[in-house]
Structure formats: structure tokens, C-alpha cells
Amino acid sequence: MTDRTALVCGAGLMGHGIAQVLAGAGYQVRLYEPEQSRAEAGRDRIAGNLQRSVDKGRITADERTEQLSRLSVETDLARAATGIEVAIEAVFEDEAVKRDLFALLDASAPAEAILASNTSSISITRLATSTRPERRPRVVGVHFFSPVPVMPLIELIRGAETSDETEAAIRALAGDVGKQVIVSRDRPGFIVNRILMPFLGEAMRAYDEGLGTAEDIDAGAKLGLNHPMGPLELADFIGLDVCLHIMEVLHEGFGVQHFAPPPVLRQLVDAGHLGQKSGRGFHTYPRS
């Protein structure tokens, strides 16, 4: 990486974490949200995370100040994209929203800038078509995992036109932020969600048919399989609306019943029970 100025679009769960790890790796990071209050909320979250790292003795107070000084919040996308080397979008998982954003980024970012999407399931090849043909070799999927500062993986998705140079640049960025790369072809759900979602879906169906309590299903995976979280609490952690969307993409993409979202998941989402973020999903939060 030459310039090391990165733009992160979206300051939510994934965006703030991506901005944090980039700032921690020495990048000048612009954190974009159209609303100032949301952009500042993202920065405040990063400041809070870094304070916990100071309290645990992992970084010094000066390092926290230095990392925060590399982070600016932006509400004007055209200005935020000026002179960047890479943009990573982590906005709402809606293809139309992401396409609009990519078109705007394409118009404002330098010709050599890489436009990356943190999408968990939307086709990179299709997203790339919202940019001009000469940009498409520089469009790529860069899928982080939550919590971003903790999870050591980046899933790199090559669209039909993604170049080897772009893959190499993203591998370098992953090295900078201390993450390991796996490369996936551009298929629904890529590698990780292709594996994960049927597992979560089966746990939901088992719960729905009364096979065991939510606590016992989760304990089964934690104690019997050594998973850090059970499948129902992991679904709550990811967000049940997010899980539903990914399962719909997989189901539509492959046309196989095995990927169909379980009715209980739809019911919870319809009722506004989205998991941890809404206080209720398969479990209630905060957990006792």
C-alpha cells in the first residue's frame, strides 16, 4: 500500500470495527455516514473499545490518542473519497443501497482506488457492474467477521473481473491489520456463510420442534463441539434480520430447500426480535 488512506462507509457494527483495525494498523481512516450523529457514534464506539484496551494494558493511552487522531468522520462522500487508496463499504445489506454507493464512489475516488464491499452474501460481480468498466478490476469482496478486532479472518471474494493486482493489494491490507485471508469464488454466501447458515438454520428448526431448550442446544455446540458460542446465541449476535437475509440469498441462489430460512426465524424478525441488538431473539438480553 502506498498512500494508506482508507475510506470506510458505514459506522455500524462492522464499519466501526473495520475502521478501528485500519487506524490501529497506521492507516489514515475516513469514516463515512451521511448523518453526522451516526458517524460520531461510530467514532465513540471505537474510542470506547480502545479505552478498554488501555484499561487491559494492551495499548498505552498515547497509542489510543494516536490511533484516534488518524480517524476522521465524514458526511460528504465525494470529499471523503478524494485521494483514497481503498474504500471498504459496510453499509446496510441491501443490493440497491450498495450499488448506489459504489456508483458514487466510482465517480469520486481516484481511478486507481480499490472499491471493496464487506457484503456477507451479495454478488461482487453484480456490484461491480454499478461502476464503470475500467474500475471493475478494482472491485472486490473483503468480508470481515464480527467482532472485527477479535476475529482473525478476511474472506476475499473475486468478482468476474477482479484483477490479480487487486487481490495482492487486499492481501497486503489484510497483513497490515493482522488478518488471515481465504479466497472464495463469487457464489451465494461465499465460503463461511455457506457453511454457517445451514448449521444455524438446523439449530433453529430443532429449537422450533422442541428438541431441546435454546440453552441446551447452545450448550450442545459449546461443550460438545467446543464452539465459542452456541448456534442460537450466535444467530442473535449476528442479528436475526441479517441471518434471514443471508439465508434468503443462499436459498434463492442455489434453489435448494436445505438453505431455506426456518419459519421461526421469519416469525422472530417479523415481530421485531432481531437478537442482541433489539434485546430479544432466541434469548433475551442482557442475559442473566
Return residues touching ligand CAA (CB under 6 A): 49, 52, 56, 58, 120, 145-147, 149-151, 193, 228-229, 234, 238, 242
Sheet holding 139-144, edge to edge: 71-74, 28-32, 5-9, 86-89, 114-117, 139-144, 153-158, 180-185
212 vs 35, 257, 276, CA distance in Å? 44, 23, 21
Q: Closest approach of Cβ 122 to ligand CAA, in Å?
A: 11
Residue closer to ligand CAA by CB (options 64, 135) is 64
CA distance 132 to 105: 11
Residue closer to ligand CAA by CB (options 104, 227) is 227
Residues with a known catalytic role = 120, 143, 155, 193
- Strand residues in 119-277 grouped as ranges (E): 139-144, 153-158, 180-185
CA 168, chain centre distance (Å): 20
Taking the CA of residue 25 as centre, how many other CA atoms within 13 Å lie in the half-sphere pointing to its CB? 21
Residue closer to ligand CAA by CB (options 14, 73) is 14
Given the DSSP bridges, would you call strands 28-32 and 139-144 parallel, antiparallel or unpaired? Answer: unpaired
Q: Closest approach of Cβ 247 to ligand CAA, in Å?
A: 11
Q: Closest approach of Cβ 112 to ligand CAA, in Å?
A: 29
Q: Closest approach of Cβ 70 to ligand CAA, in Å?
A: 18
Residue closer to ligand CAA by CB (options 120, 166) is 120
